[in-house]
Amino acid sequence: MKAFRVKGKRILISHVGGTLYAIDDICSHDEGPLNEGTIHGDEVECPRHGARFSLRTGAVLSMPAVTPVKAYKIRVDGQNVQMDVDA
């Protein structure tokens, strides 16, 4: 997993089971950097308080977070990774 800044947003891109996923890189609980957390299967755990989010959908999977993070559709075109962060 790696974080990027795209159009002023911090985006986390992760590689899970041969597929790339993109979600906001900021924990909705306390704005912690999810890229500094750990991956457990297709989930990321925030390094600050342990909230977990789906890398596929951005859904909250454990407290203390209650608000999901935004997930983005991602496309691979040759060696380029593309996504629409405005959507």
Q: Enumerate domains of the chain plus CATH numbers.
A: 2-77 (2.102.10.10)
| pLDDT tens digits, 50-68 | 999 999 999 999 999 999 9
Q: Is 70 exposed, middle or buried (0-12, 13-18, 19+ CB in 10 A)?
A: middle
- pTM (two decimals): 0.92
CA distance 1 to 21: 9
Can you tell me the mean pLDDT for 12-41?
A: 95
Q: Which residues pair with 38 in a beta bridge?
A: 45
CA distance 84 to 40: 26
